[in-house]
Amino acid sequence: MVPGATCALVVLAHLYAFCFSGLLPGSAGSSPCNGTSPNIIIMLMDDMGWGDLGVNGQPAKETPNLDQMAREGMLLPDFYTANPLCSPSRAALLTGRLPIRTGFYTTNAHGRNAYTPQEIVGGIPDSELLLPELLKKAGYVSKIVGKWHLGHRPQYHPLKHGFDEWFGSPNCHFGPYDNKGTPNIPVYRDQEMTGRYYEDFNIDQRTGESNLTQLYLKEALSFIGKQHMNRQPFFLYWAIDASHSPVYASKPFLGISQRGRYGDAVMEIDHSVGMILAYLYQHGLDENTFVFFTSDNGAALSSGQREGGSNGPFLCGKQTTFEGGMREPAIAWWPGHIPAGQVSHQLGSVMDLFTTSLSLAGLQPPDGRMIDGIDLSPVFLQNKMIARSIFYYRGNEMMAVRVGMYKAHYWTWSNSWEELEKGIDFCPGQNVTGVTTHDQKEHTHIPLLFHLGRDPGEKYPLSVTSAEYQDALREISAIVQQHKETLIPGEPQLNICDRAVMNWSPPGCEKLGKCLTPPPSKPWKCIWPH
Amino acid sequence: MVPGATCALVVLAHLYAFCFSGLLPGSAGSSPCNGTSPNIIIMLMDDMGWGDLGVNGQPAKETPNLDQMAREGMLLPDFYTANPLCSPSRAALLTGRLPIRTGFYTTNAHGRNAYTPQEIVGGIPDSELLLPELLKKAGYVSKIVGKWHLGHRPQYHPLKHGFDEWFGSPNCHFGPYDNKGTPNIPVYRDQEMTGRYYEDFNIDQRTGESNLTQLYLKEALSFIGKQHMNRQPFFLYWAIDASHSPVYASKPFLGISQRGRYGDAVMEIDHSVGMILAYLYQHGLDENTFVFFTSDNGAALSSGQREGGSNGPFLCGKQTTFEGGMREPAIAWWPGHIPAGQVSHQLGSVMDLFTTSLSLAGLQPPDGRMIDGIDLSPVFLQNKMIARSIFYYRGNEMMAVRVGMYKAHYWTWSNSWEELEKGIDFCPGQNVTGVTTHDQKEHTHIPLLFHLGRDPGEKYPLSVTSAEYQDALREISAIVQQHKETLIPGEPQLNICDRAVMNWSPPGCEKLGKCLTPPPSKPWKCIWPH
């Protein structure tokens, strides 16, 4: 495909405004060539909370670049992830579909969060169409920088699912491991590993020092620069992870935050965001690059004051379907297209980034499957509001739904008493009787209902006998019924674990002398405690 | 005194830059005439919380004017009141002194918040020198608009303590009362009442409608306009109360907020702030008017979702000495003098508004008394940082102290089990074991220590055995010892109650036919449950 071939005049008039696919034979899209298909950068943070940004009220006010990004673009205080845990959330972002549809959940137990640790056998199914695969049809070159988390076995790798380049790791940066019982997590350059965490890419657990964010910044800038040189539209999925425990920062950022090491990590991230936006300005790419900043789930409050972030005024955090688990920081930025300084209360989801990105590229979402993400470009570009609901899933259970200002909980659960007694607390310092329950509590007949405007902290359930409750529930019930009736769950991918599938011998290990011998296969049903 | 007489050249050069007193015989000040003494407006909110401003992270983002004020001035995320309750806080603001010094506390029980309900016999002692009294020496004309709360008996009225004008009430706008057991609260125009709440100044308890904020706005603008016409420097103390339960808003603002009636009140306040700042701009007064926006104590979480505000990520609310009770929204604004868009983490206090206002007027604080407020003008004008501590008092007890990022609790108490059982909860949905205690818990030997940067929500006490605890406590202990050794408590003014002193026959009642007959005097020791 020759970029810009069908729209030469437009390309000449607006140097970085590529548009192709809609008019090319074999393309999936049908949008007219509108001359505004931008580059796309999705900045996905790891365990960063809604309340971690100065613009969202973090008292230390240590995110000047993100705050500036919000002033130059649109802040979305009502933006959500699709799951309170990393892997399902990331699968949802890249497919535009709820994890219950893509199989990124477990049926081993009821309402349990599952993800892709090293033992997991499954990953993103080939039947799913990922954003970079589809963007190819519009001539985009795609790179993922950072954490993949959709399966670490070779068939699941990003380059098998549409990405052209990868620098980062398939799993979380836990460790160090001894390479006997557990291998250290590999870091990939494209198809092959280029080293392992704690061996070739160090994270000093004592000091918190690591230069990974700097590496991820460099990767982003060089990718952008290369595509710019080649006049190639690009999609950069910048999925960095310094704010996930073990949090880290490079030396110049260590100790500079009021907030401790977590704050250091956030400040380095904020700095990097500023560097990327500055690069776009410097190279005249700002008016042709749509940038979206968000996070994969709420702050991990169970990580405590030193490793966990803030969910601002919201209840609980990561792993829960309270607002603190799924409401995300969100900024849309595209100078000259998204008017500066706006706030939109549009209900948004990471899944919308899939549909919106396709729309910006002049493509239609794929046929033959349910897509949950909606096209937010009318919100960003014309500040329109679009009716939609937010579904809060935990594993195989729809725990809650938001419709307008109302949120109905059909199930509540923070975590089990057993886990709590071990010191794992998803709601430290918070306790709302009958809401932050430690048993899985069913409310399907009489949902707990909150008004998130008056009560963003989900502390005051509406009286069941009030007219407000009855009116709101009537509307919500119809939406839930429709959702459930039409839902076809995908085959669960996160049920089976096996130590044999761990990162013993990733592609490329032989070149580095880093191949390890896997133990014999001995699959078991993964245990998901939360 | 002739305004500007000693500085004619300066006045000519800078129309609204009055400066007088320092060089006039009989003045208390000794500052040189610097040509920059501005008008002073202190906007003191009632029960508004730190988290109620968009700029401080309220998710509805409904305070565009305050957010703009912050962008044009300096935001102070580490600003405090001097007490978690209204009357003592207001006494502290106007005297620059801790309530324990001015007598605005009780000794009827240990560590109890006291204020000035209608039954209170006491009020602000004549021995205290209030800001407007002192500003007179620099030629300022002073007006209070709104709630006084330093004693409702005639000898305590604002015009007996330096204010030249008053429109507002001496007590909270509770009611309606039947004028038999309890009189309705009077509203004053200067020395005399001009009506009563719920009779002449209505607050519709059912709908929440009241035009009081509009009246208070009008009073502010007409006062500013008059002083502007007279080329008279002024001090406006705009102590409005729509955000205090029963919260109210005028008709155009009712129902417009995502947040319910409380949000409506905040939006009308925000609108009024915008109108005042716009008026200053329109009349060329912006560069000669220092405006400070803050609140008297934390949001009243016990008022629930419909009547109470938000303390953002901070613990508990009004009545407590946790951050939610005493950390306040704070914005300093003075175009051309305070550089725009700054954030200062200076530890500030409402008491500093006393000392800073005097400084801006070229005056020194009065001799012969301990002043707790510091001059923040180097912070505002040159973004300097000044070492200082914050003392958190509840009644006669120093409950906690903040030094740098550390806060030590010497006593913890939310409220009693008895009150909690009645449904009064100062920390709804929050429960930090050993911290949000329902008994008055003493920690004087081993204070609970928090790092407010890592842990603004006061959820993770530092380990007593850690070096961090030891180092921080050493510094704090020396400061506390010095504070306690030099403290001379004032005579408590809030111990005695008597129904005979209620607002039965306020000055001016006879002109309105609104005099009521008081019951015989029968004083008792006031009971303060919190």
pLDDT, position B12: 30
Could A258 and B57 be called an inter-chain contact, meaning their C-beta atoms sit closer than 8 Å? no
B316 catalytic? Reply is no
Angstroms from B499 CA to nearest CA on chain A: 37
Contact assignment for B263 to A453 by CB distance below 8 Å: yes
State percent of chain A over pLDDT 70. Answer: 93
Phi-psi region of B470 (alpha: psi -120 to 50; beta: other; left: phi over 0): alpha
Contact status of A409 with chain B (Cβ, < 8 Å)? no
- Tell whether B77 is within 8 A of chain A (Cβ): yes
The residues of chain A scoring below 70 in pLDDT are: 1-36
Any CB–CB contact under 8 A between A353 and chain B? no
Q: Which residues of A touch B455 (CB under 8 A)?
A: 305
Please name the member of B260, B315, B429 whose beta carbon is closest to the beta carbon of A459.
B429
User: B146 to chain A, minimum CA–CA distance in Å?
Assistant: 26
Is the CB of A59 inside 8 Å of chain B's CB atoms? Answer: yes
Give the distance from CA B100 to its chain's centroid: 16
Mutate to test the interface with A, among B65, B305, B438 (most CBs of A within 10 A): B305
CB A459 to CB B305 under 8 A? yes
Token pair belonging to B286: 């912006």
pLDDT given at position A301: 97
Q: Given B149, B157, B337, B409, which residue is catalytic? A: B149
CB-based contact (8 Å) between B455 and chain A?
yes
For chain B, 530 residues long, give each residue's pLDDT as a single digit of tens. 333 333 333 333 333 333 333 333 333 333 333 456 899 999 999 999 999 999 999 999 999 999 999 999 999 999 999 999 999 999 999 999 999 999 999 999 999 999 999 999 999 999 999 999 999 999 999 999 999 999 999 999 999 999 999 999 999 999 999 999 999 999 999 999 999 999 999 999 999 999 999 999 999 999 999 999 999 999 999 999 999 999 999 999 999 999 999 999 999 999 999 999 999 999 999 999 999 999 999 999 999 999 999 999 999 999 999 999 999 999 999 999 999 999 999 999 999 999 999 999 999 999 999 999 999 999 999 999 999 999 999 999 999 999 999 999 999 999 999 999 999 999 999 999 999 999 999 999 999 999 999 999 999 999 999 999 999 999 999 999 999 999 999 999 999 999 999 999 999 999 999 999 999 999 999 999 99
**Which residue from B minimizes the CA distance to A431?**
B429
Q: Is A305–B432 a contact, with Cβ atoms under 8 angstroms apart?
A: no
B61, B305, B429 member nearest A343 (Cβ): B61
* Cβ proximity of A95 and A102 under 8 Å: yes
* Secondary structure (3-state) at A102: helix
Which of the residues A7, A19, A33, A149 is marked catalytic? A149
Residue of A nearest to B56 (CA): A57
Residue A453 is nearest to which of B60, B455, B457, comparing CB atoms? B60
Of B262, B312, B343, Cβ closest to residue A61: B343
Residue A320 has a pLDDT of 98
Q: Which of B430, B453, B458 sits opposite A60 (nearest CB)?
A: B453
Chain A positions in Cβ-Cβ contact with residue B451 (cut-off 8 Å) = 260, 305
Q: What is the pLDDT of residue A1?
A: 32
Which of B59, B61, B78 has the CB atom closest to A313's CB atom?
A: B59
Quote the tokens at residue B389.
């501590």
User: Which chain B residues have a beta carbon less than 8 Å from that of A57?
Assistant: 51, 55-58, 312-313
- Whether A430 has its CB under 8 Å from any CB of chain B: the answer is yes
Nearest to B313 among A54, A57, A258 (CB): A57
Q: Which among B51, B257, B431 has CB closest to A431?
A: B431
User: Which chain B residue's Cα is nearest to A60?
Assistant: B453
Give the nearest chain B residue to A77 (CA atoms): B59
Alpha carbon distance B238, B248 (integer Å): 17
Tokens of A49: 């909370």
Strands B448-451 and B406-409: antiparallel
Give the model's pLDDT for residue B35: 53
Mutation target among A71, A433, A454, A463 for the B interface, most CBs of B within 10 A = A454
**Alpha carbon of A404: minimum distance to chain B alpha carbons (Å):** 10
User: What per-residue confidence (pLDDT) applies to A344?
Assistant: 98
* Closest to B153 in 3D by CA, of B504, B501, B499: B501
- DSSP letter at A197 equals B
Measured between beta carbons, the chain A residues lying within 8 angstroms of B58 are: 57, 313
Residues of A in contact with B263 (CB under 8 A): 453-454
- pLDDT per residue as tens digits for the range B410-433: 999 999 999 999 999 999 999 999
pLDDT at position A36 is 61
- B131/chain A closest Cα distance in angstroms: 30
Q: How far is A336 from chain B (nearest CA, A)?
A: 22
Residue B16: strand, helix, or coil = coil
Nearest residue in B to A76, CA atom: B59
Indicate yes or no: CB of A430 within 8 angstroms of CB of B428. Answer: no
CA–CA distances in Å: residue A384 to residues A73, A287, A429, B99: 15, 21, 38, 51
With an 8 Å Cβ cutoff, are A454 and B260 in contact? yes
Q: At A238, give phi and psi (nearest 5°).
A: -100, 90
3-class state of residue A71 by DSSP: helix
User: Which of A62, A431, A449 has the highest number of chain B CBs within 10 A, making it the mutation to test binding with B?
Assistant: A431
Rounded Cα–Cα distance for residues A80 and A325 (Å)? 9
Tell me whether A378 touches chain B (CB under 8 Å): no
Given a contact cutoff of 8 angstroms between Cβ atoms, the answer to whether B389 and B406 are in contact is no
The pLDDT score that the predictor gives to residue A388 is 97
Interface test with A, best of B431, B432, B436 (most A CBs within 10 A): B431
- Long-range CB contacts for residues B483-488, cutoff 8 Å, separation at least 24: B483/B389, B483/B391, B483/B398, B483/B401, B484/B398, B486/B370, B487/B100, B487/B101, B488/B101, B488/B370
Q: Between A58, A263, A429, which is nearest B430 by CB?
A: A429
The C-alpha angle B521, B526, B530, rounded to 5 degrees, equals 160
Nearest to A405 among B258, B305, B310 (CB): B258
State how far Cα B135 lies from the chain centre.
18
Provide the strand spans (E) within A51-90: 74-75, 79-80
Q: Cβ separation of A257 and B453 shorter than 8 Å?
A: yes
Cβ–Cβ contact B475 with A under 8 A = no
Least CA distance to B304: which residue of chain A? A460
What are the residues whose beta carbons fall under 8 Å from the beta carbon of A33, sequence distance 6 or more? Answer: A6, A7, A10, A19, A20, A22, A23, A362
pTM of the model: 0.93
A58 has a chain B CB within 8 A of its CB: yes
Size of interface A-B (CB pairs under 8 A): 119
Contacts for B218 with CB less than 8 Å, ≥ 6 apart = none
Looking at residue A302, what is its pLDDT? 95
**Any B CB within 8 A of A292 CB:** no
Q: Do B429 and A432 touch (CB under 8 A)?
A: yes
Is A515 marked active-site? no
B404 touches chain A (CB under 8 A): no
Please tell me which residue in B7, B19, B33, B86 is annotated as part of the active site. Answer: B86
